[in-house]
Chain A
Amino acid sequence: MIIFKLKPGYNKGIPKNNEKTLLLIIFICFSRGVFAQELFSVSKGLVTFYSHAPIEDITAENKQPGSMINMTTRDIAVIIPIRNFKFAKELMQEHFNEKYMESEKYPMASFKGIITDDVDISKDGEVQATAKGIISIHGVEKEMTLTGTMKRTGNSISLISDFKIAIKDFNITVPKLLFENIAEVIDVHVALDYKPFQKSNSTK
C-alpha cells in the first residue's frame, strides 16, 4: 500500500526517489517493529494427559510448555518438554520417560501449525479456532487438526484445546507383559495463557 503512494514520484528524478526509498526503508523497519508486537508467547501453561484403563487411571501434568503465536501470519507453535510431566508415582514417571517416550532420545513433543482463517483472532472475544499442522511425539511426525477455544482480552490470549492421541500412531508400544495398564488412546488437555512476546523473557 505504501508503494502505491510512492508511485507518483516515479518521474521526478533519482535523488528524490532515493529519499523516498530511504523513507520507505525506515518505514519498513518501523513496521517490522509493529509486527513484532503481534508475537505472543506463553506466560502460563498446563498440559495434562489422562489414560483411562480398566485397572488404573493415570494422570500426568506438565507446567512448562512453551508456545508462540504470530497474530499476523496465524502461525502457532507449541513445545512440551517430556521430562517435565509429573506423575503421582515416581516409578511410573521413570517408566514413562525411559520405556515409552524415550525422553533422552526425544526430549520434546511439539506442534507447529497455522490457525485457520475462518475466525478473527485479533479482536477481543471468544472464538472456536482450528489449527492445522504437524504434531511430533516420540520422534514421529503426524499431520493433525486441533480444535480449541481462543479467548482474547486486551493484551492476553488464552487457549484451551482437548484432543486424543493414539499411542500406536507415534510408535509407542506397550509390552504385553505389563502390570501397568495403559490406554491405547490418551486424552490430552492443553491450557495456555499468552502475553505479548518480549525478547528478554521469551520463554520460561
Chain B
Amino acid sequence: MKNITTLILFFFVSCGVGFAQEDLLKMLETGSPVKREPVLAMFKTNKLINIHTNETVRKNNLDVRISHLFGNMGQESGGGIHNLYGIDQSADIRIGFHYGITDHLMIGVSRAKRNEDLEGLIKYKILNQTTDNAVPVSISAFTNIAYSIKESSDFITNTYRFSYCSQLIFARKFTSRFSVVVLPTFIHRNFVSADDENNTFSLSGGFRLKFTPSASVIVDYSHTFGRPDLVLPHYDVVGVGIEVETGGHVFTVMFSNASGILENDYLVNTMDSWSKGGFKLSFNISRMFKIGGADAEPGK
C-alpha cells in the first residue's frame, strides 16, 4: 500500500518537477524556425586585388575608389634602388565611383590612366548565398565598356577605341573567415594589333582569409587562355595583399604583376613576370559615402 502511495507521490512529484524543468530557452529556440538570411559581407568591398568580388555597393551608397599601381620592383624589370623599387613610377592609376541603385544593382564610372580609358560599369547580384545553405553560392554579373581617349593613329575610327569586359562571378563564404570567388571573363577589344585576337577568355579565382575581424589576407589569380606571344610573352596575373577595414574605409596594400588596373587591360596585356621582378607595390583606398535616401529610422 505504502509502496503504491510512494509510487503515486513519485509520479506526481516527477510530473511536477518534469514540468518545472521544462526548459523555456529550449522551447523558444525550437519554436523559432531557422531563418533564411542572405550571408553578409562575403567580401569587404566590391574588388579584391585585381578581380571583382560578388559584392556590390548598397542602395544609395557611393564607393569612391582610388587605386594606385607603382612601377616594377625588380631590377630586371626596370625597378631597383635607383627608383626606390618602382615607387617613383606609376604604372596605372584608377579613380572610380561605384554607386548602388538598389542593394543588388551597382553602376560606376572610372578613369584608368594606363590606356587612357574611361570606363562605365554595371554589376548585378543575381543570387546571394543564404545562411541555411539553400542557396550555396552567390552569383553576380559584371560588365563594362571602356573607351580610350588616347591620341593614337591606331584608332582609325572611334569604334576602335572601345573594349568590353563581361564576367560571371561565383562566390562562396565557407566560414566567417574564409571566402572564395571564381569568375570566368570574356573580353572583346575592337582594336588589336595584327597578330592579336579580338576575343579572349580568362578564368580568375581569389580568396579572402580574415585574421582579425577587420583585417584579411587576400590573394587572386587570373589566367587568360591562348594568349599569343606578342612583343613579350603574356604572364598569368597574381596578386597578394592585406586588406584592412576601418568602418567606412577599406585600405588595401598589395603586390601584383598586373600591368594595369582595368580588366580590359591587365587580362590581355600583362607582360611582367613575378620571377623577373616584374611585380609592383599597389594600394587601394575605398571610402563609402551615403548619398541620398534618408537614413532609415530604426523602428519606423
Contact = CB atoms under 8 A, between A and B. Distances in A.
A91 B176 contact: no
A14 B5 CA distance: 11
Interface stretch (B22-30, B79-87, B277-285): B22-30
B296 interface: yes
Interface stretch (A92-100, A120-128, A155-163): A92-100
25 contacts: A7-B5, A10-B2, A11-B1, A32-B19, A61-B298, A68-B28, A69-B24, A70-B24, A77-B25, A77-B28, A79-B32, A88-B295, A89-B295, A91-B248, A91-B288, A91-B290, A94-B40, A94-B41, A99-B213, A104-B40, A110-B25, A178-B246, A179-B247, A179-B249, A203-B32
Nearest to A24: B8
A73 interface: yes
Nearest to A95: B247
Contacts of A66: 28, 31-32
Interface string A35-75: 10000000000101000000000011101001111101101
Given A61-B298, A203-B28, A203-B32, A102 B176 contact: yes
Contacts of B41: 94, 97-98
B297 interface: yes
Contacts of B295: 88-89
A63 B9 contact: no
Interface string A87-117: 1111110110111101111001010100000
B299 interface: yes
Contacts of A77: 23-25, 27-28
Contacts of A175: 212-214, 246
B299 A91 contact: no
A169 interface: no
A3 B297 contact: no
A91 B296 contact: no
A152 interface: no
Contact of A75 (B24, B247, B288): B24
Interface of B: 1-2, 4-5, 8-9, 11-12, 15, 19-20, 22-25, 27-29, 31-32, 35, 37, 39-41, 58-59, 61, 131, 176, 212-214, 244-249, 288, 290, 295-299
- Size class of the A contact interface (CB-based, 8 Å): 35 or more
Contacts of A105: 176
A76 B24 contact: yes
In this complex, the member of A60, A86, A98 whose beta carbon has the largest number of chain B beta carbons within 10 angstroms is A98
A180 interface: yes
A47 B1 CA distance: 55
Given A32-B15, A68-B24, A180-B248, A108 B29 contact: yes
A48 B298 CA distance: 10
Contact of A3 (B12, B176, B212, B248): B12
A148 interface: no
B246 A177 contact: yes
A145 interface: no
Contacts of B29: 79, 108
A25 B298 contact: no
